[in-house]
Structure 1
Amino acid sequence: MFEGHDPYLVALSVVIAILGGYTGFGLAARIRGTPDASHRLLLAGAAFFLSVGIWTMHFVGMLAAPLPADSVYLVLPMIVSFLMCALVVGISLFFVSVGTASMLRVASSAALLGLGIVSMHYVGMHGLAGNFAMTHVTGMVVLSVVIAIAAAYGGLRAFLARQGGLQLLLSAIAFGVAVSGMHYTAMAGMEVVPLPAGAHHHLEGLVASPQTLSLVVAVLCFVIAAGFLLSLVPDSRRTASAVVEEATGTPLADAGAAPTAPRLRPVPLGGVGQPPHAAPAPRLPVEGADGTHFIASAEVRSVRADAHYTKIHDGIRERMCPWSISEAEAHLDPSLFLRVHRSHIVALSHVTFVRKEGDGAIVELDGPSPHRVPISRAKIAEVKARLGLAHRTV
C-alpha cells in the first residue's frame, strides 16, 4: 500500500489527521445540549478543523505518492472537495452533538462521515491531471468505503463515550485511522496508465503545481497545529474558579458576595474519621458574560458533566457552573435529584417522558425548551422506582 511513498510524508499525513480530529472533536464535545449562538460557532469551528484535517491529510498523502513528474492539480475540484467535506462533516457532527445520541443517529452520522471522506478523496483525485489516465480497482474502492465508515463509527462512539481526556484522544486516533486508512487503501487500488506517445491530456481551468500545493498544505498544517495547541490551553475563567475554590474552600460564585456566617456542615453520625457531606444548596452558581449569577435549585432540570465543571439546564438553556458533577450532586437534595448517569443528574419532578433506548433509557425534562437526558442501564431500575414505574416496562 505504501510502496514508493515517502515515509515521512505518510507519517505527517496521519499526524495531521489525528491533530485535526483532536481539535475538532474537542470543540464538538462542548456543543452537546440546546443550541445557541455560541454552540453554532463551536459547531462551525469543529467542522472546520475536522474538514481541514481530512483535506490536508489527503493532499499530504498525494504529495507522498510516486506520481508522474508532469502531474498538476486542477484548482476547482480541489476547492469543491474541501467544501463537500466541510458540509458533510458539519451535518454529521450536528446529528451527534445535539439531542440524544441514539444508535441509529450515530450509525447514520458515521455512514455520512465515512461517505463524505470517500467522496472528498475521489473528487480530489479527479483534480489530478497530466499525460496519463487513472483507473480504480472496484474491490479496493469498496474496501476503502467500508474502512472509512467503520473507523468513523469508532471515532464517534469514542467521542460520545466521554468528552475529554483519554477518550477524546482515542476518538482522534480513530478519526486519523479513518481518513488515512481510507486514503491509502484507495491509493493502493489506483492505477496510473501513461497516454500513448503523441497524445496529450487537454487541461481546462486553473491549475496548481505540486510546489504550490506544498505551500498551501504547509500553511494548513500550521493552522491545524496552532488550533491543536490552543485547544490545550486551559480556560482562564475556569482556572481562576478552581484556584479560588482550592484556596478558600468557597466556589468562585461566592467570592464577590457579602461576608456571611460560615456555612456549617452537619457532622455524620459515624463521628470522627468520616468526611462531611455538603448540605443541600438552595441556589447554585452559574457563570455568565457579565459575572456570576445564582439559580434556585427548584429551577434546575438537569446537570451535565463538562470536564471538571458542569452545565446546568434550567429548562431554557445550559449555563456553566464552576462545581464538578460530584460537588453538584453533594449540594442537591437527594430526595428531588438523582444521578442517572455518570455524567448526568436530573430533577425527577420535571421528568415528563421516559423511554427505553438501546442498553439504557432516556428521560425528557420539561421547560420552554424541553431536553432529553440518557439513563445508564444500571440506573434504570432506580429511576423506574422513583417515578412509580417499578412494575412497568420502560
Structure 2
Amino acid sequence: MQYLDYTHNPWLVFASLLVALMAGFTGLSLTKGLSERSVVHKKILVALAALSLGGGIWSMHFVAMLGLQLPILFYYDPTITLASALVAILVVGLALLILHFWKRTRSTLILSGVIVGLGVLAMHYIGMAGLEYCQALYTPLGLALAVTSSCVLNVAAFMIAYGKRTDRNIIAGTLVFGSAVVSVHFIAVSGTSFTAVVSVVEAGPLISNEIMAIGVVLTSFVLCGAFLLTGITFLSPSDTDVSPDGELPPEVSDVPDIAPAVIRVPYEQEGRTQFVNTDEIAVIHAEGHYTSLYTATGKLFCHWSITEAEKRLSPGPFLKTHRSYLINPAFVSSFERLKDNGVCHFNVTKLERVPVSRSRLSIVRSTLGV
C-alpha cells in the first residue's frame, strides 16, 4: 500500500489556533457567574457555551484540514461531517452540565475534562471518517498518544478555568484549551497515514474543499462576533458579584468597614418624599430599577436603584449578601448555612429571610461572627 505525502499550510494552522482560542474564550466566559442565575437562564447560557466550544472545536478541525495539502483531490461526506459537529457540541454540553449542575469538586473537573478530551477525539476521527477519495489509516501508538494528550490537556484547561472563576483563570484556561484542541489535532494527524481510494460508493453530493471553506468561514465569522460581544462584556465593569460561579470567595479583608454615620434615605409615601434613617432599615431589596426598604414596621418604596443605594450608603452599615440585597447586620436574628450558600433570617414585617450567595458567604459569616 502506498501512502501519500502531505504537508500543512502554516497560515491555516495559525488560523486554526485563533479559531480555537476565540471559541474557548467565548464558551468559558459565557458560563461565568451562573450560580445566581435562574435555572432557565443557566440552561440557555450552558447551551450557548456548548455551541461556542463544540462549534469552535469543529471549526478548528476543518480549518486545519483546509491546510492539509495532499497530492490528490479529496472531498467530505456531508452527513458524517455534520455528525462530527453535533458530537462535539453534545459532548461539550454534557461536560458543562456536570460542571454547572453538579457540585463542583476536583473529581467533577477531571471528569468534565476527560469527557471534553474524548469528545475532541470523537469529533476528529468522525470528521476524518467523512473523507472521500482518501482514506485515513491509524496506528495503535498514534491512537494512544492522541487519547492521552487530549484527556490530559483538556483536564488541565478545565482545572485552570474552573478552579477559580477569576478573569485571569478564564484567560489562562482559554490559552490552555485552545492550545489543547490544536495540539491534539496535529498529534492525531501525526499518527495518521493517508492513502488514495480508487472506488467510492457515493450516498449523495460531496463537499469539496471550496464549499467546506465557505462553511468554515461562516462559522468562524459567527464565532468572531460572539467573541467580540463576550469580550466587551468581559472587560466591562459590573455592579454585580463577579465571582459567584465556582470562584473562591473574596478574602475576609475585603469586608467593608461599618461607618457609624447615619444617613437619611428617601422613600415615597402618600404623594410625598419622606426620609428614614439608615439605622432603622433592616434590608434593601432590588425591585427592578427601584428598591424596597424593609424596616421593623413595614415596607417602603425608594426610587434609588440597588446600585445607587450601594454607592450612596458606602461606607455604611449595609452589607451586600446577593446581587439584589443589602442587609443591616444589626437586624439579623439568625443565620443558616446551606450547601454552598446561606440565608439570613430577620424579625421584620413582610420579610423573613434573605439569601446569601456563594461568593458573599465568607464576608457575611465574618461580619456576623459565625
Same fold (TM over 0.5): yes
CA distance in structure 2 between the aligned counterparts of 1:204 and 1:115, rounded to whole angstroms: 28
Q: Secondary structure of 2:8's partner?
A: coil
Contact 1:29 1:159 in 2 (8 A): no
Correspondences of 1:17-166 after superposition (within 5 Å): 17-33=20-36, 35-130=38-133, 132-166=134-168
Measured after TM superposition, the shift of residue 285 of structure 1 is 4.0
Contact 1:26 1:163 in 2 (8 A): no
Which runs of 5 or more residues in structure 2 are unaligned?
Answer: 1-5, 241-263, 297-304, 346-352
In the other structure, the counterpart of 2:12 is 9
Measured after TM superposition, the shift of residue 373 of structure 1 is 4.7
Correspondences of 1:215-254 after superposition (within 5 Å): 215-234=214-233
Tell me, yes or no, if structure 1 residue 185 matches structure 2 residue 187. yes
Measured after TM superposition, the shift of residue 4 of structure 1 is 1.9
Contact 1:100 1:372 in 2 (8 A): no
Contact 1:58 1:121 in 2 (8 A): yes
CA distance in structure 2 between the aligned counterparts of 1:282 and 1:366, rounded to whole angstroms: 11
Alignment identity in percent? Answer: 22
TM score, norm. by length of structure 1: 0.66
Q: Deviations over 1:86-127 (max 9, x none)?
A: 111111011112342111111111111111111010000000
Corresponding letter in the other structure for 2:65: M
Q: Deviations over 1:267-317 (max 9, x none)?
A: xxxxxxxxxxxx8962234364xx34448699xxxxxxxxxxxxxxxxxxx
Q: Secondary structure of 1:349's partner?
A: strand
Residues 260, 140 of structure 1: alpha-carbon distance in 2 compared, 3 angstrom cutoff: farther
Q: Secondary structure of 1:204's partner?
A: coil
Corresponding letter in the other structure for 1:153: V
Which runs of 5 or more residues in structure 1 are unaligned?
Answer: 242-253, 265-278, 299-319, 338-346, 354-361, 388-394
The number of aligned residues is 308
Residues 221, 99 of structure 1: alpha-carbon distance in 2 compared, 3 angstrom cutoff: same
Q: Deviations over 1:181-237 (max 9, x none)?
A: 111100111101234xxx4233323310000000000111110000011112349x9
Residues 33, 375 of structure 1: alpha-carbon distance in 2 compared, 3 angstrom cutoff: closer
Corresponding letter in the other structure for 1:210: N
CA distance in structure 2 between the aligned counterparts of 1:255 and 1:157, rounded to whole angstroms: 45
Q: Secondary structure of 1:224's partner?
A: helix
Contact 1:31 1:98 in 2 (8 A): no
Residues 211, 364 of structure 1: alpha-carbon distance in 2 compared, 3 angstrom cutoff: same
In the other structure, the counterpart of 2:261 is none
In the other structure, the counterpart of 1:316 is none
In the other structure, the counterpart of 2:282 is 282
Correspondences of 1:268-307 after superposition (within 5 Å): 282-286=282-286, 288=288, 291-294=289-292
CA distance in structure 2 between the aligned counterparts of 1:158 and 1:230, rounded to whole angstroms: 23
In the other structure, the counterpart of 2:335 is 349
Measured after TM superposition, the shift of residue 386 of structure 1 is 6.2
Measured after TM superposition, the shift of residue 34 of structure 1 is 6.2
